[in-house]
Every structure is written in C-alpha cells, then in structure tokens.
Amino acid sequence: MNNKKVLVMCTGNSCRSIIGEALINAELKGVNAYSCGVAPSGKVNPNAKKILQEKGIWDDSYSSKHLDALSHIDFDLVVTVCDNAHETCPMFPGKTKTIHVGFEDPDGKEFEAFVETYKEIKAVLLREVSNALS
C-alpha cells in the first residue's frame, strides 16, 4: 500500500474517529489517515487524547472537524465508525470506496471504556482497512 488516503468518519469526531485516525497513521505503512465528523463537536475528548498519549501515538494536529475541512483530499477509502455517520455519509466522487465498521461510543464513560474502545478499534479497524485497500 503506497500513499493511500483514508478518511475515518463518525458523528462528533471527538473519540472513535480520532482514535482510528491515530491508529491507522501509526500502524499501517503507506496509508495517511484523516478524520472528520458529520456534526463535529469541535473538541477532542480528553480521554481519547489521554489513551493516544499513553500509547505514544497522539499528534497535536488531531482535531474535531467537518468534512468540508478535508474537501481538497481525494480519499481511496472512507470508513464510518458509527451508525449515524454511516446513515448520513455523503457520496464521494470517483473510485472512493466506503465501508462501515461500527464501534460503541465511549463518550461520557470512564477512561476504561476508552481503553476498551482503543483495543477494539486496533483489533478490528486496522484489519478491515487493510483488507479494503488491498
């Protein structure tokens, strides 16, 4: 995989999509990941940031944003990680492939829920993205 661009979408772009973006960027060689929300909260959940910092894969460029902020990028793959984003995902032009890999929202829960979400996203999302890009 060389220079593939992946977009991870959820509703608020504060937890799951940010964790997915960070994991893809850290683990999948030749893949650049981005994230956005269909109704972005405008902030990264502190527990999502904390788990990514603990794992050594936090980047200060990660932020909660709308798809419009990324409209200049041609994505090879769009992944929705929540049902709301899946149902409201816009059409992407050309050969952009879309897949849905849902995860429970840890927002509003204890830090341990974010640890579990991180583990689940790492185990499932990375495999699904690799498969979809190959």
What domains are defined for the chain?
Answer: 4-133 (3.40.50.2300)
Would residue 10 show up in a list of annotated catalytic residues for this protein?
Answer: yes
Contact 36, 67 (CB under 8 A): yes
Mean pLDDT of the chain: 92
- Residue 67: CB partners within 8 Å, gap ≥ 6? 7, 9, 36, 38, 90
Pick the catalytic residue from 6, 9, 10, 22.
10
Q: In the numeric block, which tokens belong to residue 93?
A: 């032009």
Pick the catalytic residue from 70, 89, 115, 133.
89
When pLDDT is averaged across residues 125-129 and rounded to a whole number, the result is 96
Distance, in Å, from the CA atom of 60 to the CA atom of 28, rounded to the nearest integer, reads 19
CA nearest 42: which of 11, 78, 85, 74?
A: 11
Query: What confidence tens digit (pLDDT) does each residue in 60-92 have?
Result: 999 999 989 998 999 999 999 987 766 776 667
Burial 19-32 (b: 16+ CB within 10 A, else e): bbbbbbbbebeebb
Would residue 89 show up in a list of annotated catalytic residues for this protein?
Answer: yes
Pick the catalytic residue from 82, 85, 121, 129.
82
Would residue 36 show up in a list of annotated catalytic residues for this protein?
Answer: no
